[in-house]
Amino acid sequence: MKLISVCGARPNFIKIAALLRELADYPEIESILVHTGQHYDTAMSHQFFDELNIPEPDVNLEVGSCSHAVQTARIMERFEPIVLQHAPDAVLVVGDVNSTMACALVAVKLGIPVIHVEAGLRSFDRDMPEEINRVVTDALSDLLFVTERSAVENLEGEGVSPAKIHFVGNVMIDTLRAHQQLADRSDVVARLELHPRDYVVLTLHRPSNVDDPAALARLCAALREIQRSHTVVFPTHPRTRANLQRRAASTLFADMPRLRLIEPLGYLEFIKLMRDSAAVLTDSGGIQEETTVLGVPCLTLRENTERPVTISEGTNRLVGTDPRHIVANFREIVSQPTQPRTPEYWDGHAAQRIVRVIADWHRLRSRAPLTCESGVAARPA
Burial class of residue 222 in the structure, from the number of CB atoms within 10 Å of its CB (0-12 exposed, 13-18 middle, 19+ buried):
buried
92, 25 contact by CB (below 8 A): no
Task: Tell me the window of 59-67, 219-227, 252-260, 279-287 that interacts with ligand UDP (CB under 6 A).
Answer: 279-287
Site residues (CB under 6 A) for ligand UDP, limited to 34-73: none
Site mask, ligand UD1, residues 228-267, x = CB under 6 A? Answer: ---------xxx--x-------------------------
> For residue 60, what are the contacts with CB-CB under 8 A and spacing of at least 6?
34, 35, 36, 37
Q: Between residues 23 and 93, which has the closer beta carbon with respect to ligand UD1? A: 93
Dist. CA 148–CA 298, nearest whole Å: 18
Site mask, ligand UD1, residues 130-169, x = CB under 6 A? Answer: x---------------------------------------
> For residue 36, what are the contacts with CB-CB under 8 A and spacing of at least 6?
6, 7, 8, 60, 61, 63, 75, 78, 79, 99, 102, 103
13, 42 contact by CB (below 8 A): no
CA angle 23, 24, 29 (to 5 degrees): 60
Q: Are strands 199-203 and 59-60 parallel, antiparallel or unpaired?
A: unpaired
DSSP state of 235: E
Q: Does 284 bind ligand UDP (CB under 6 A)?
A: yes
Q: Does the active-site annotation cover 179?
A: no
Q: Residue from 10, 166, 260, 302 that binds ligand UD1 (CB under 6 A)?
A: 10
Site mask, ligand UD1, residues 63-102, x = CB under 6 A? Answer: --x------------------------------xxx----
Site mask, ligand UD1, residues 195-224, x = CB under 6 A? Answer: ----------x-------------------
Note the helical H segments in 4-67: 10-23, 46-51
Site residues (CB under 6 A) for ligand UDP, limited to 8-37: 10-11, 14
Burial class of residue 221 in the structure, from the number of CB atoms within 10 Å of its CB (0-12 exposed, 13-18 middle, 19+ buried):
middle
Task: Tell me the window of 134-142, 145-153, 262-270, 335-343 that interacts with ligand UDP (CB under 6 A).
Answer: 262-270
If contact means CB under 5 to 8 A according to the sort of partner, which of ligand UD1, ligand UDP, none does residue 235 touch?
A: ligand UDP
First-to-final CA distance of the chain: 15
Q: Between residues 123 and 352, which has the closer beta carbon with respect to ligand UD1? A: 123
Q: Residue from 4, 7, 9, 34 that binds ligand UD1 (CB under 6 A)?
A: 9
Q: Does 119 bind ligand UDP (CB under 6 A)?
A: no
Site residues (CB under 6 A) for ligand UD1, limited to 296-335: none
Nearest-CA neighbor of 268 among 351, 345, 355, 191? Answer: 191
Q: Between residues 133 and 231, which has the closer beta carbon with respect to ligand UD1? A: 133
If contact means CB under 5 to 8 A according to the sort of partner, which of ligand UDP, ligand UD1, none does residue 238 touch?
A: ligand UD1
Alpha-carbon torsion (42, 264, 129, 91), positive or negative: positive
Task: Tell me the window of 33-41, 136-144, 180-188, 367-375 that interacts with ligand UD1 (CB under 6 A).
Answer: 33-41
How many CA atoms within 13 Å lie on the side-chain side of 71? 18
Dist. CA 299–CA 315, nearest whole Å: 9
Site residues (CB under 6 A) for ligand UDP, limited to 123-162: none
8, 35 contact by CB (below 8 A): yes
If contact means CB under 5 to 8 A according to the sort of partner, which of ligand UD1, ligand UDP, none does residue 89 touch?
A: none
Annotated catalytic residue: which of 166, 205, 237, 362?
Answer: 205
Q: Residue from 36, 38, 288, 291 that binds ligand UD1 (CB under 6 A)?
A: 38
Q: Left if phi > 0, otherwise alpha if psi is -120 to 50, otherwise beta: which for 118? A: left
Q: Between residues 66 and 217, which has the closer beta carbon with respect to ligand UD1? A: 66
CB of 48 to ligand UDP, least distance (A): 7
CA angle 49, 112, 153 (to 5 degrees): 80
Beta bridge partners of 144: 116, 165
H or E segment to which residue 139 belongs: helix 129-140
Which residues contribute to the site for ligand UD1 (CB under 6 A)?
9-11, 38-41, 44, 65, 96-98, 129-130, 205, 237-239, 242
In the complex, which residues of this chain contact ligand UDP (CB under 6 A)?
Answer: 10-11, 14, 203, 205, 235, 264-265, 267, 270-271, 284-287, 290
